[in-house]
Amino acid sequence: MAKSPLRPCRHAGCPDLTRGGWCAKHRPQHQRRMSAAYHSWYSLPIWTDDLRPAHLLAEPFCCECAASGVRTRATVVDHIKPFRGDWALFVDKTNHQSLCKWHHDRKTAAEQRADRQENAQK
């Protein structure tokens, strides 16, 4: 099987040749993502059969859209304060809010950006 050709490292100004795109010195360090164990909580019956549907029935419209006078059907139950593995915070009904996908994705991206900046300062 043929190997891919050697190419310069993707890091600006680095002369090292590599097959993987980045030399060992400049290979990006990926952020640790939410543990798969915590992410799997979203598939538990308490979430899929109880908490999520009950919340969307009680609050069917996106609270962010409603704040600006627009009525949009909510599709996501968001954790106001990220639970980060805290079971009590995960199931706490006062920590849930209804959001449309657009507002949820925007909020999640902002939280992840803040986490990256906080980790970079450590």
pLDDT at 33: 56
Residue 70 has pLDDT above 80, yes or no: yes
> What is residue 8's three-state secondary structure?
strand
Tens-digit pLDDT profile for residues 2-52 = 677 888 988 888 899 988 788 888 887 765 555 556 888 999 999 999 999
Residue-averaged pLDDT of the chain? 88
pLDDT at 36: 58
78 torsion bin: left (phi>0), alpha (psi -120 to 50), beta (else): beta
DSSP 61: B
Percentage of the chain surpassing pLDDT 70? Answer: 91
* Residues linked to residue 65 through DSSP beta bridges, in sequence order: none
Residue 116: CA count within 13 A, CB half-sphere: 10
Q: Where do the structural domains in the chain lie, given as residue ranges?
A: 45-122
pLDDT at 93: 96
Of residues 104 and 9, more confidence is placed in 104
